[in-house]
């Protein structure tokens, strides 16, 4: 009997050892699995170099607004409503956006409003069929509705040269206050030269050529007026407003100002190039170009070509570099989608009759 008890005891101890061994083996297997998971290799992220962007955008040499990865987190799809592809300035936007999208390896879809902003809501509906990640447009009178429609679809809207919106936190484009200020500084330079010559002792007026219905214009020309007024120590009676929202043409309003002050001389800055060149041409046709000094804002090919003819009184322009502005829109859109920081767009070039030949050849070649 005693030997049987020993036999049963030995059998129990053996079974216990087997169970313990099995448990230890299972524990080791779990620990090994966890080690493999922890040591997984993370994905390496590389970024585009700023020098490559400047080389790619030559002769414009655009400064990148964001440092973007060479591989994005998703295959992004960008959409944009161009206000008028036939216009040289907006055509530069288009070419730059397409090239930038190709460079960064994303899809780009574009519609053309052909100069009619009222078509943009319908064009947006068509663009939205492309399963866009983000969309943008330029349309001073319609962009708020476009931004709201995009928001309804859960898509971010980034306009260009529109001004602030209730429906998107991002305001992209020309820094209007700075652009107006720099235009005024260039105009002050030209006027002071004339005051040492044929304008010595003449009564000086400033004409602000603007559009009160366009927020960007109000900021842009308002900044120009205040900067010029302070620099030249003008009182409010010598700062005149020519606002297109009155229903009158810029040509008529400038003519009225000059007729009312026949002994005066007039410095002018418009919201955009054409808004100043039109009245200037009317003044020149009347033989009074010696009494005006003009600086314009924008500076794409048509005003550059005109400045090359050395028209008396057209001192120069602030170049908005539309190609770089279009390229930058793509970068800001992609940075927004990736959750990356970006810089604001800046205007950097002031062109005068002394420098326009070289700049024109850089951008457009010889005529």
pTM: 0.84
**pLDDT of amino acid 165:** 86
Is the pLDDT confidence value at 4 over 80?
A: no
Nearest to 333 by CA among 41, 101, 113: 101
pLDDT score at 129: 97
Helix (H, G, I), strand (E, B) or coil at 2: helix
For 12, counting Cβ atoms within 10 Å of its Cβ (0-12 exposed, 13-18 middle, 19+ buried), the class is exposed
Q: What is the DSSP string of 247-281?
A: S--HHHHHHHHHHH-TTEEEEEEESSHHHHHHHHH
Residues whose CB falls within 8 Å of the CB of residue 188, separated by 6 or more in sequence, listed in order: 227, 228, 231, 232
Q: What are 146-172's pLDDT values in tens digits?
A: 999 999 999 999 999 988 888 988 999
Of the pLDDT bands very low, low, confident and very high (cuts 50, 70, 90), residue 12 is very low
Query: Is residue 366 pLDDT above 80, yes or no?
Result: no
Rg (CA), the chain: 32
Structural domains in the chain?
Answer: 50-173+323-346 (3.40.50.2300), 176-319 (3.40.50.2300)
- Report whether pLDDT(87) > 70: yes
Strand-pairing partners, residue 209, are 242, 270
User: Mean pLDDT over all residues of the chain?
Assistant: 90
- pLDDT digit string (tens) for 30-69? 333 334 344 445 668 899 999 999 999 999 989 999 999 9
């Amino acid at each position: 009997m005693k030997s049987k008890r020993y036999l049963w005891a030995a059998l129990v101890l053996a079974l216990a050892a087997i169970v313990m061994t099995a448990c230890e083996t299972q524990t080791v297997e779990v620990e090994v699995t966890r080690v493999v998971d922890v040591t997984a290799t993370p994905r390496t992220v590389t970024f585009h170099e700023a020098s490559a962007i400047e080389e790619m955008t030559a002769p414009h040499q655009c400064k990148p607004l964001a440092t973007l990865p060479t591989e994005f987190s998703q295959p992004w799809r960008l959409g944009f409503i161009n206000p008028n592809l036939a216009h040289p300035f907006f055509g530069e936007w288009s070419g730059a956006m397409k090239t930038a999208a190709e460079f960064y390896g994303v899809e780009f879809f574009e519609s053309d409003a052909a100069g009619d902003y009222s078509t943009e809501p319908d064009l947006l509906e068509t663009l939205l069929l492309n399963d866009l990640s983000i969309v943008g447009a330029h349309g001073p009178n319609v962009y708020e509705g476009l931004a709201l429609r995009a928001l309804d679809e859960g898509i971010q809207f980034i306009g260009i040269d529109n001004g602030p919106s209730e429906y998107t936190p991002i305001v992209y484009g020309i820094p209007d206050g700075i652009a107006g200020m720099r235009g005024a500084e260039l105009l002050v330079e030209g006027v002071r030269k004339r005051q040492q010559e044929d304008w010595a002792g003449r009564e000086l007026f400033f004409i602000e050529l603007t559009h009160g219905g366009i927020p960007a214009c109000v900021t842009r020309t308002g900044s120009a007026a205040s900067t010029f007024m302070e620099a030249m120590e003008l009182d409010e009676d010598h700062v005149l407003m020519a606002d297109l929202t009155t229903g009158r043409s810029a040509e008529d309003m400038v003519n009225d100002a000059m007729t009312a002050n026949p002994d005066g001389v007039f410095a002018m800055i418009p919201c955009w190039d054409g808004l100043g060149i039109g009245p200037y041409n009317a003044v020149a046709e009347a033989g009074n170009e010696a009494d005006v000094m003009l600086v314009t804002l924008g500076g794409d090919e048509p005003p550059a070509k005109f400045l090359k003819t050395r028209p008396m009184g057209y001192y120069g322009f602030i170049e908005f570099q539309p190609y770089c502005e279009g390229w930058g829109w793509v970068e800001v859109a992609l940075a927004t989608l990736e959750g990356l920081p970006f810089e604001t767009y800046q205007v950097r070039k002031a062109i005068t009759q002394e420098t326009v030949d070289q700049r024109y050849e850089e951008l457009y070649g010889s005529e």
